[in-house]
Amino acid sequence: MEYRKLGNSGLAISKIAFGNWINHGGKIDENTAIACVKTALDVGITTFDTADVYSETKAEEILGRALQGVRRESIELCTKVCHPTGQGPNDRGLSRKHIFENCHASLRRLQTDYIDVYYAHRFDPSTPLEETMLAFADLVRQGKVLYLGVSEWTAEQITRGAALARELKIPLIASQP
C-alpha cells in the first residue's frame, strides 16, 4: 500500500481509503462488513471514512466494532456531520449544538477517543459560519478532533471557511468533493 500526506498536513493516509457509505448497516450483513474491514487492514488500508448518517448511524457502529482490537494509532478515522440524525430541529446542520452532540455520538459509536478528520458534510446556510468554525475549533482544542475537512462545499464557501480556520489556528486540510 502506498501512503500520502493529506492536504498540507503531516497526516499520512493510505492511498486507498475504506468507505462504508452503502455497505455497513445497509446492503451486507455485519459479519461480512467486519470481514471486509479485516481484509482492508490486511492489505494495508489504514484510512476509514464514514459519516454519522450512513445507514442511520449503524455504519459508524459496525465500523467501531470491526476495528476493536486494532491499535488506534495505526489507523485514521474520518467521519462527517451535518445531515439529519433525528427528528428534532437541532438534529441537523452545523450549529454548535449539533456538531458537539454528533461528535460525541460518533466517538461512542466508533469506540474511540478522537476523530482524525472531522468533515462538515455539507455547508449550512442557516448557521453563521463563525459559529460552525468555532465549534470545530473547540473540538480540536479539546483533542476530540485532530483535523477538519469539508465535503461538497463550493469554492467560495471553502475560501471563507479556510480564512476562519486560519484565524482560529485550526487545521482545515481536506475537501471531499
Active site residue: 54, 118, 119, 147, which one? 54
Per the CB < 8 A criterion, the answer to whether 136 and 150 are in contact is no
- Amino acid found at 77: L
- Could you confirm whether 54 is annotated as catalytic? yes
Sign, Cα dihedral of 134, 175, 149, 101: positive
Q: How far apart are CA 68 and CA 78, in angstroms?
A: 16
DSSP codes, 67-83: TTTS-GGG-EEEEEE-S
Integer Rg of the chain from CA: 16
Burial of 41 (0-12, 13-18, 19+ CB in 10 A): middle
Q: How far apart are CA 163 and CA 160, in angstroms?
A: 5
Catalytic residue set: 54
